[in-house]
Structure 1
């Protein structure tokens, strides 16, 4: 049985290889090249006791599934799911080669080191270790190396769920994001396990005007000016907050005064209280408690001297748990007021918020809580909400329990994690790699063994 320290070397080496494979997904159909990482994982995991299949929704974009079959078809199954693609980089902003995978002062540098090749590699190492030991589980243990997470899973988890659900189905699923820790005001270490995820409601708002000559703008029906007012209203809109039990648990773990923590749980005071906090904290608190509206793309006009008659605004809307797609229309109607009936709204992408059960008595939660104690005795798990999107939603939509989890060293708190996520100089310390691999190893042994 390997220790966390013994897991560090093989996890570091596999992570370096995955980074160097440069599977960059820019959101278009033929980028990603995840077959390179899929092939690496197949080669790493193949061996006695492991069944492996690859799946190709389009050339170069393979996902792979490895399985250690269980002896009891009625026993619960576990899937360790890690995506194999990464987001693009701006090389000029990096101190080191973003695809060099270099080990510098105990940290592996490169795009994907945080999101999420560290977990993809540590999960694979834990899976391989169990196979090498001749692990004979009661329930199936599945490793799912999936493509296209960074573009919403169209050619990855979504495609697999629609076309090969039996290959990836599991009662319990572990994937990103989670595992960072912090010390609460009372000196207790809290480790976040994300059990909920906000929904996606991307919308295109089309604003129309009347074309004319740009030299005579007075009184013109200019679509750009109207679009600017749409953006202003969206920016100033204050939807009602969601202050649920998950948010209350997060607030209890924050290093804030009792007065501020109390205000963050008060619907009448939460917005103004958030506004009073330092921007990095305020941004996080706002995203966790409100449906958000971010106008991120504007397209319109044909020539500098022509008053534009059409402007499109793409808005990234993220919905809190309990919000339906119909509710989104209600939000937009309230935010835009009298302008709502004078714009056209199209759906770009939609998925509802998803949630999984948690707490003592939930087998997956109990397993994570137990094995967190190996690295951090007396630490407490805190349920959290993912404000972005992950592949966990494809499992939750089908009634499976899926958590965003992990285990990092004390060097990786939420601020550190967040600053490196999709950022310059992304990197992860090897201690975290060993802790995570050891974490997955023992959870799998307990849950399906």
Structure 2
């Protein structure tokens, strides 16, 4: 296998060493190295500093670059906010161009909530510990391992394989995939792609993400009459009106909208036929949700538009009755939901309070979806079946990922992975952004094995 060898303070170089299980070991060691770079993205433009992990990838890919088969580019959207694009060109211009979209940044941690160093990249009892292990450095490492293997192969592939290891996914991608698509569109020009948010087990099925909800942020503005807080008579505090709106939002909820993916989820996850029937009925689905245990939150999220109040503001000084209050809403939409639909939904939810509320639009994006009838999805299905002996189920992600940018460009993109048995959706969600985040070696090996089969089928 290969491993890191010291070559000076703070520096590592990739060199071959003897051993077995080379590809799996390569991916594990690369994962550990990426965790140690601690590219924490807290939303500030100067955070992330993904250039550190880009340098790790450059050293890892150097043997393939030396052959002339692998082309790499490092592109910085701002100082230190770097993405790496690596490309193996094929012999047939009509063959697929497969993109492997991974991100390099990770979310912040609360060190007090961790049993081990969140940036130690420790390998303990068959598990790699560290922030980003699940989201999504294990896949980024697998992607890099496979593209290096392809570049070092004796023959050139028929199609093209492209690694997009990007910055800033955790804060929306403005310094990563969005910037690349806008400023360097040729770098993201692929015919199909795989990324994160797949591989968890839904019953005996393996979940592959084909869609993700959109975001339609709104700010609700309510107004009152200011006054001195010591003489409240005659004033009308905006704080009370904020409370009235919040109460209304808590009492009135959007109705379920059960689509094609909902039925596939129920079929895969629910064994009880009576419960399954109740879940397929929009009238009874909400009453049935409590019977789903840990997956009820996911089921609730993907079966409707959700409205979540997140930031409240009213007043700035303790002795002044505030004239203006605001409520920021995180609204997650289903495919096909327009901005007008969201505003109409809000008006319906607010009911008699709607006339007293100004609705302002915040940042958002449409829900996206790729058809599960594309050739790439079929290749994923075959690979998962061969490696794990399991069927797949197409699912919708409740959150967002960089894959939506490719879908917006008309590129079919799927959330991939093949986690070990026991990795239910609930366990996966606990690992993403949670304390003591870690991934087992078996899951890395399974994902790598399935990925190699997909690459072999799609690009040769």
TM-score range, shorter chain: over 0.9
User: Structure 2, unaligned stretches of length 5 or more?
Assistant: 3-19
Taking the aligned partners of 2:46 and 2:219, their CA distance within structure 1 comes to 24
Deviation (angstroms), 1:302: 1.2
Higher relative contact order (CA 8 A, sep 6+): 1
Taking the aligned partners of 2:250 and 2:71, their CA distance within structure 1 comes to 51
Q: Contact 2:295 / 2:425 at 8 angstroms: preserved in 1?
A: no
Taking the aligned partners of 2:246 and 2:106, their CA distance within structure 1 comes to 30
Specify the SS of the correspondent of 1:57.
strand
Give the alignment partner of residue 252 of structure 2, picking from 227, 234, 237: 237
Please list every run of at least 4 consecutive aligned residues from structure 1 whose deviation after the TM superposition is greater than 3 angstroms: 216-220
Give the alignment partner of residue 157 of structure 1, picking from 177, 181, 186: 177
Specify the SS of the correspondent of 2:133.
coil
Give the alignment partner of residue 232 of structure 2, picking from 212, 217, 222: 217
TM-score (norm 1): 0.94
Residue 186 of structure 1 corresponds to none
Q: 1:62 to 1:140 in 2, by over 3 A?
A: same
Q: Contact 1:106 / 1:430 at 8 angstroms: preserved in 2?
A: yes
Deviation (angstroms), 1:279: 5.5
Residue 168 of structure 1 corresponds to 188
Range with greater deviation from structure 2 (215-224 or 89-98): 215-224
Aligned residues: 440
Q: Contact 1:119 / 1:176 at 8 angstroms: preserved in 2?
A: yes
Residues 1:94 and 2:114 are matched in the alignment: yes
Deviation (angstroms), 1:278: 5.3
Specify the SS of the correspondent of 1:411.
coil
TM-score (norm 2): 0.92
Deviation (angstroms), 1:307: 1.2
Give the alignment partner of residue 307 of structure 2, picking from 289, 293, 318: 293
Residues 1:309 and 2:362 are matched in the alignment: no
Taking the aligned partners of 1:388 and 1:349, their CA distance within structure 2 comes to 15
Residue 435 of structure 2 corresponds to 424
Give the alignment partner of residue 74 of structure 1, picking from 90, 94, 109: 94
Taking the aligned partners of 1:234 and 1:172, their CA distance within structure 2 comes to 40
Task: Tell me the alpha carbon deviations over residues 198-246 of structure 1, each in whole angstroms, 9 at most, x when there is no partner.
Answer: 0111112222222112233356411111111212222222223221111
Deviation (angstroms), 1:409: 1.0
Q: Contact 1:130 / 1:441 at 8 angstroms: preserved in 2?
A: no
Residue 325 of structure 1 corresponds to 339
Task: Tell me the alpha carbon deviations over residues 145-197 of structure 1, each in whole angstroms, 9 at most, x when there is no partner.
Answer: 011000111111111111111111111100010011143xxxxx201011011
Q: Contact 1:235 / 1:294 at 8 angstroms: preserved in 2?
A: no
Residues 1:371 and 2:383 are matched in the alignment: yes
Taking the aligned partners of 2:292 and 2:459, their CA distance within structure 1 comes to 44
Residues 1:83 and 2:98 are matched in the alignment: no
